[in-house]
Structure 1
Amino acid sequence: MSDAPEPHDSAGRAARLRAALAESPPLLWSFLYFFCLLSGYYVLRPVREAMVASSDIAAVFPPALVAAFDRRGIALGEFVPQFIFTSVFVIMLLLQPAYGWLVSRFARRVFLPVIYGFFIATLLVFHAMFDSGVAGRGLAFVLWLTVFNLFAVAVFWSFMADVYTNAQARRYYGYIGAAGTIGAFTGPALTGLLVQRVGIPNMMLVSCVLLALCVVCILRLRPHAVLREQAQGQRSGEVPMGGEVLAGLKLVAREPLLRWLALMVVLGVGVGTLLYNEQIAIARTAFQTAEQRTAYFSRIDLAVNTLTLVVQLLVTRALMSRFGIAPALLIPGAAIIVGFSVLAASPLPILIAVVQVVTRASEFSLAKPARETIYTRVGREWRYKAGAAIDTVIYRGGDLTFVWVHKALSAFGSNVVFGAGLAIASLMTFSAWRLLREEAKLPSERTQRPISAKRPTAP
Structure 2
Amino acid sequence: MNDALAKWTNGLRGAWSESSPMRWAFAYFFFLLTGYYVLRPVRDALGSTQNLQLLFTGTFISMLLLQPLYGALVSRYPRRVFLPVVYAVFIACLLFFYWAFHQPFAWRSGAFFIWVAVFNLFAVSVFWSFMADVFSHGEAKRFYGYIGAGGTLGGFLGPVLSRNLVGHIGVANLLLLSASMLVMCIVCIQRLRPWALAREKSEATYKPGLAMGGTVLAGLRLIREQPLLRALAVLMFFGVGVGTLLYNEQAAIARTHFVDAASRTAYFAGIDLAINAITLLIQVLLTRGLLQRFGVAPVLMIPSVVVLLGFSVLTASPLPMLVAVVQVITRAGEFSLMKPARETLYTRVSREARYKAKAAIDTVVYRGGDLAFVWVHKWLVGFGPTAVFGVGILVAGGLCFGAWRVGREQARLSQAVSSAESLRTSEGAT
Give the TM-score category using the shorter length.
over 0.9
1:110 matched to 2:105? The reply is no
Deviation at 1:228, TM superposition (A): 1.7
Deviation at 1:11, TM superposition (A): 3.4
Structure 2 CA distance for aligned equivalents of residues 312 and 118 of structure 1: 32
2:40 corresponding residue in structure 1: 45
Of 157, 162, 165 in structure 1, the residue corresponding to residue 128 of structure 2 is 157
Deviation at 1:22, TM superposition (A): 2.4
2:402 corresponding residue in structure 1: 431
Change (3 A) 1:236 1:310: farther
Instruction: Please list, as runs of the form range in 1=range in 2, the aligned pairs for 1:247-396 lying within 5 A after superposition.
Output: 247-396=218-367
1:15 corresponding residue in structure 2: 10
Deviation at 1:25, TM superposition (A): 1.5
Q: Which runs of 5+ in 1 are unaligned?
A: 1-5, 55-76, 450-459
Structure 2 CA distance for aligned equivalents of residues 407 and 44 of structure 1: 26
Change (3 A) 1:442 1:294: same
Structure 2 CA distance for aligned equivalents of residues 46 and 26 of structure 1: 31
Q: Which amino acid aligns with 2:120?
A: N
Deviation at 1:8, TM superposition (A): 2.4
Secondary structure of residue in 2 paired with 1:8: helix
Structure 1 CA distance for aligned equivalents of residues 273 and 420 of structure 2: 43
Deviation at 1:313, TM superposition (A): 1.1
Of 26, 29, 54 in structure 1, the residue corresponding to residue 24 of structure 2 is 29
The answer on whether the counterparts of 1:101 and 1:244 sit within 8 Å (CA) in structure 2 is: yes
Moved more, 143-152 or 245-254: 245-254
Secondary structure of residue in 1 paired with 2:216: coil
The answer on whether the counterparts of 2:102 and 2:172 sit within 8 Å (CA) in structure 1 is: yes
Q: What do residues 330-374 of structure 1 show as CA deviations (whole Å, max 9, x unaligned)?
A: 001110011011000000011000000000000010001111111
Structure 2 CA distance for aligned equivalents of residues 347 and 202 of structure 1: 37
Deviation at 1:236, TM superposition (A): 5.2
The answer on whether the counterparts of 1:53 and 1:281 sit within 8 Å (CA) in structure 2 is: yes
Deviation at 1:263, TM superposition (A): 0.9
Q: Which amino acid aligns with 1:163?
A: V
Q: What do residues 239-286 of structure 1 show as CA deviations (whole Å, max 9, x unaligned)?
A: 200001110011112222111110110001110111000000010110
Q: Which amino acid aligns with 2:403?
A: A
Structure 2 CA distance for aligned equivalents of residues 309 and 334 of structure 1: 20
1:62 corresponding residue in structure 2: none
Q: What do residues 393-429 of structure 1 show as CA deviations (whole Å, max 9, x unaligned)?
A: 1110000000000111111111111111011101110
The answer on whether the counterparts of 1:7 and 1:13 sit within 8 Å (CA) in structure 2 is: no
Change (3 A) 1:445 1:238: farther
Structure 2 CA distance for aligned equivalents of residues 177 and 186 of structure 1: 14
Q: Which amino acid aligns with 1:151?
A: F
Structure 1 CA distance for aligned equivalents of residues 186 and 27 of structure 2: 11
1:69 corresponding residue in structure 2: none
Secondary structure of residue in 1 paired with 2:318: coil
Report the count of equivalent residues: 420
Secondary structure of residue in 2 paired with 1:132: coil
Secondary structure of residue in 1 paired with 2:211: coil
Structure 2 CA distance for aligned equivalents of residues 295 and 385 of structure 1: 37
Q: What do residues 171-197 of structure 1 show as CA deviations (whole Å, max 9, x unaligned)?
A: 111111110000000000000010111
1:139 corresponding residue in structure 2: 110
The answer on whether the counterparts of 1:166 and 1:445 sit within 8 Å (CA) in structure 2 is: no
Identity of aligned residues (%): 57
Deviation at 1:237, TM superposition (A): 7.5
Q: Which runs of 5+ in 2 are unaligned?
A: 422-430
Deviation at 1:238, TM superposition (A): 4.0
Deviation at 1:431, TM superposition (A): 1.6
Of 196, 200, 219 in structure 1, the residue corresponding to residue 167 of structure 2 is 196
Deviation at 1:446, TM superposition (A): 6.4
Deviation at 1:9, TM superposition (A): 4.7
1:245 matched to 2:245? The reply is no
Structure 1 CA distance for aligned equivalents of residues 40 and 296 of structure 2: 29
Q: Which amino acid aligns with 2:363?
A: T
The structure 1 segments of at least 4 consecutive aligned residues displaced by more than 4 Å after TM superposition are 443-449
Structure 2 CA distance for aligned equivalents of residues 183 and 231 of structure 1: 33
The answer on whether the counterparts of 2:240 and 2:370 sit within 8 Å (CA) in structure 1 is: yes
The answer on whether the counterparts of 2:4 and 2:285 sit within 8 Å (CA) in structure 1 is: no
Structure 2 CA distance for aligned equivalents of residues 105 and 231 of structure 1: 22
Q: Which amino acid aligns with 2:81?
A: V
Secondary structure of residue in 1 paired with 2:412: coil
Structure 2 CA distance for aligned equivalents of residues 307 and 389 of structure 1: 29
Q: What do residues 35-93 of structure 1 show as CA deviations (whole Å, max 9, x unaligned)?
A: 00000000010010011113xxxxxxxxxxxxxxxxxxxxxx5xx11000001111111
2:380 corresponding residue in structure 1: 409
1:95 corresponding residue in structure 2: 66
Secondary structure of residue in 1 paired with 2:331: helix
The answer on whether the counterparts of 2:297 and 2:406 sit within 8 Å (CA) in structure 1 is: no
Deviation at 1:23, TM superposition (A): 2.4
Provide the TM-score with structure 1 as the length reference: 0.89
1:68 corresponding residue in structure 2: none
Secondary structure of residue in 2 paired with 1:278: helix
Q: Which amino acid aligns with 1:47?
A: V
The answer on whether the counterparts of 1:341 and 1:418 sit within 8 Å (CA) in structure 2 is: yes
Structure 2 CA distance for aligned equivalents of residues 135 and 383 of structure 1: 39
Change (3 A) 1:205 1:448: farther
The answer on whether the counterparts of 2:258 and 2:264 sit within 8 Å (CA) in structure 1 is: yes
The answer on whether the counterparts of 2:278 and 2:332 sit within 8 Å (CA) in structure 1 is: yes
Secondary structure of residue in 1 paired with 2:388: helix
Q: Which structure carries more helix by proportion?
A: 2
Root-mean-square deviation (CA, aligned residues, Å) is 1.6
The answer on whether the counterparts of 2:141 and 2:291 sit within 8 Å (CA) in structure 1 is: yes
Deviation at 1:442, TM superposition (A): 1.6
